[in-house]
Amino acid sequence: MSRKELIHAIIYTDLHDELGPNPVYCYPSDLPENVNMLVSIKAVTLLSGSYGYTPDSLIIFPFPSIKLKGIVKYIERKDDKRRGKSARSAITFLFRQAEDVIFYKYISYLETLFSNTSKKIIELENSDAIDKDIFLEINQLRNNVLDLIEELRKKELSLTTGEEFPESIEKERIEASYKFKLAVVGDPGVGKTSTILRFTDNAFSRVYVPTMGTNISDKNFQVDNDFVELIIWDIAGQSKFQTMRKHFYQGINGIILIYDLTNPKSFENISAWYKDIKSHLSDKISIVGFIFGNKLDLVIKRKVKNTTATKLAEALNLKYIEISALTGQNVENAFYDIAKQLIELKKIPSMNN
């Protein structure tokens, strides 16, 4: 099945006070009227039967009469002009029943994409934007969903392929003299996963997927005359993972604190991230690492000065560098520098006792 065929149709339904379920947008534009109304009525019926409660999570349910299933995101916003002073709508993506395993498998990743779009739609609706702008957001969501599914499929395929030839891979892999565990932390969306991906695979993910707890990557490479393996723990920034983060910090040799150069709040939170790590480690352990200022490529949107960030890094006894996970600028050099610093520290006898 081609990329375009994966999503059969999209319907955006407004729950109108007088008209009831009103399908205001559909893709493709020639979608039969009976399908439009069937999907809209069923989606809104579920919403109406929930006694004023609008589900936050994505919901998947079948449309047997048209042999399709739908993944639905409900949207609620304040509107004094509407009955009950709230307006409710729904985005429904239709797909073939044979493809439901894909949507069930990746639903936790899709949650973020749909939530981001619903927030944008609420902003547009509240600002009395024209319908065309809202429809463009829904179409962008479609592209993002397809991009994400394609990316996750490729990743799964590469992992499966790698498992088929474990012996040959191990033969090519030079045994490392040093192994170090790095913890990479920072606010959600600053580019932690993209930075790691750029270093380990020289790739960049254009679709933001939140880390669910932690992702672990590793890379073997040469530093001067030594071979080193960095085991990189990509630790989730969402507050709901706070209780489990302390377990991820155990045994770390170095840290990378990442913030977004265009997001001052993410920079302000760097000190809190540092304290969070320190609070879970022994006082005898000295923390080696960096503060990364990511998105160096967004020159015009930059909000945090280099001098301000450098001053903070010095106060925390860390190094500071500005990078771009998108272009790869300074990423490899920064990880190389961290590895070199850790090797030198390991070679000091007094520090090992």
Write down the pTM of the prediction.
0.51
Q: State the DSSP code for 240.
A: G
pLDDT for 169 equals 38
Confidence of residue 345 (pLDDT cuts 50, 70, 90): confident
Domains and their CATH numbers in the chain: 4-158 (3.30.450), 175-352 (3.40.50.300)
- What DSSP letter does each residue of 63-122 carry, written as one string? EGGGTEEEEEEEEEEE-TTSGGGEEEEEEEEEEEGGGHHHHHHTHHHHHHHHHHHHHHHH
Q: What tokens does 90 get?
A: 């729904």
Contact 194, 202 (CB under 8 A): no
| C-alpha span between 220 and 214 (Å, rounded) | 20
Contact 44, 38 (CB under 8 A): no
pLDDT for 317 equals 92
| C-alpha span between 128 and 136 (Å, rounded) | 15
* 15 three-state secondary structure: strand
Above pLDDT 70, what percent of the chain? 79
Q: Which residues are bridge partners to 257 per DSSP? A: 185, 291
Sheet holding 68-78, edge to edge: 20-27, 9-16, 86-96, 68-78, 59-63
Q: What tokens does 353 get?
A: 């006792």
Residues 128-152, mean pLDDT to the nearest whole number: 87
| C-alpha span between 127 and 133 (Å, rounded) | 11
Q: What is the pLDDT of residues 167-215, one digit of tens each?
A: 433 434 567 788 898 889 999 889 888 888 888 876 554 444 444 445 6
